[in-house]
Amino acid sequence: MHLIWEGFTDALDMIFSGEPLVFSAAWRSLWISSTAVALAMLIGLPLGTWLARAKFRGNGFIVLLFRAGMALPTVFVGMMCYAMFSRRGPLGALDLLYTPWGIVVGELLLAVPIIVGITHGAIKSLDPRIAETAWTLGAGPLRRWWTYISEARVSVLLAILTAFARCVTELGIAMIVGGNIKFRTRTLATATALETSKGEFARGIALGTLLLVIALVVTALIGWLSREDRR
Amino acid sequence: MIEVSQLRVEREGRTICAVEHLGITPGSKLTVLGSNGSGKTTLLRVLAGLTGDYSGTCRVAIDRHELTYVHQHPLLFRGNVLNNVRYGQRPGGRDALEWLRLVGMEHLAARSTRNLSGGEVRRIALARALALKPRLLLLDEPLAELDKQACEIVSDLLESLAETTIIIASPTPLPGALGKTTYTLSQ
């Protein structure tokens, strides 16, 4: 109990003293995960909607693959990215290994199945009159798509939140692809793992608490965005 | 404008809509009568292009952007009433608020679409459909859930649309000019 309490007080100390290493890792965690989720939204929202609306052979199998992808182990994604980005890998020329952008790509692979899977379920379960009404009112494909997303916004925002939560807390990709380099690729999750491995449990708990604070802020923000009474 | 011949829609081995012959000229007002389950809604859905799984012929000689269908239980999108009426509206037409005024719902313009009564939803959905200035208007039981005064407002408005072809599905005959031409579907 003393250890946990010490961790919380250390967390407050770190926040109020403005420790550069901690703030650098927190900021990096935030921008890497936000960028990965934003890119995943660009791919996942249209793809999830299309899979929910389109009727073609093999549709169910593709959806099954994305659903399975929601449980991808981060270490596996990290290893695959490592193999792709390493000097002898097919994407070695991009020089992404041990860079924040390498982590972004890995987290993108983690976030896309989550956004596709949840968006697909959300759009599929919409009242069929929504699509029919939009169509009979002459809405084009883009307007219809936006109408579906807007009507399913609570589930869509949940998809984004889930993807963000998975990305910001993941360790495997950041460790393997990023390499946990100080002031360069260290994220809150890798910093937490490092401190814990050094036996600095209180600092580990403190960094974990910071992660929790970020998750709370993002959850509150998304909760506010998805309020029913928002116009 | 519309030519339907030997139309048959079947579901699970049962005929849910059968029309021998039906011809509709531009600007006419037709009421499709029939008891529950006679296929009124199915016929409107075929005409609207929402149901393509049928046998026989159904020719609707206008572009899909020139026809609008209002469901038996209309759905309003989230947001406020005015934005719903503006949905799909092309520039240059009558103001959305004016359409709401014509159905007697302008006082609800800024209200959220939640917590509206069935009759209010129906009238707003009608205003939204009319705002598109369709050449063909397909209405599924538009007077259901409306009180006497609202029925008169909606009936008068529909009768005044001389250039619009209107097909109304209704289980009972409609009052006034709207109910003059009928087509009855048998079970």
CB A216 within 8 A of CB A222: no
The whole-number pLDDT of residue A228 equals 61
Q: For chain A, give the percent of residues with pLDDT over 70.
A: 98
Return d(Cα B71, Cα B167) in angstroms, integer: 13
For position B91, what pLDDT does the model report? Answer: 75
| Residues A228, B73: C-beta atoms closer than 8 Å | no
pLDDT at residue number A23:
86
pLDDT of residue A221: 85
pTM: 0.88
Q: Which of A127, A139, A150 sits opposite B88 (nearest CB)?
A: A139
β-pairing, B2-11 with B14-24? Answer: antiparallel
Kindly report the average pLDDT of chain A as a whole number: 92
What is the secondary structure of A66-133 as a DSSP string? HHHHTT--HHHHHHHHHHHHSTTSTTGGG--TTSHHHHHHHHHHHHHHHHHHHHHHHHHTS-HHHHHH
Contact A97, A185 (CB under 8 A): no
Asked if the model's pLDDT at residue A86 lies above 90, the reply is yes
Instruction: Quick: pLDDT tens for A128-138.
Output: 999 999 999 99
Under an 8 A CB cutoff, do B50 and A136 touch?
yes
Q: What percent of chain A has pLDDT over 90?
A: 74
Residue B39: name the closest of B18, B23, B20 by CA.
Answer: B18
What residues of chain B score a pLDDT lower than 70? Answer: 93
Residues of chain B contacting A136 with CB distance shorter than 8 Å = 48, 50, 67-69
- Choose among A187, A179, A126: nearest CA to A154: A126
Instruction: Give the amino acid at A25.
Output: A
ipTM: 0.92
- Domains, chain A: 2-230 (1.10.3720.10)
pLDDT digit string, tens, across residues B14-35: 999 999 999 999 999 999 999 9
Cβ neighbours of A148 (radius 10 Å): 22
Give B158: exposed, middle or buried? Use CB within 10 Å, 0-12, 13-18, 19+. Answer: buried
**Integer angstrom CA distances of residue B138 from A17, B10, B45:** 68, 21, 9
CA A180 vs. chain centroid, Å, equals 19
Query: What is the structure's pLDDT at B161?
Result: 93
Average pLDDT over residues A58-72: 96
Using an 8 Å CB-CB cutoff, list chain A residues near B88. 134, 137-139, 143
Q: Please check the confidence at residue A113 and state whether its pLDDT lies above 90.
A: yes
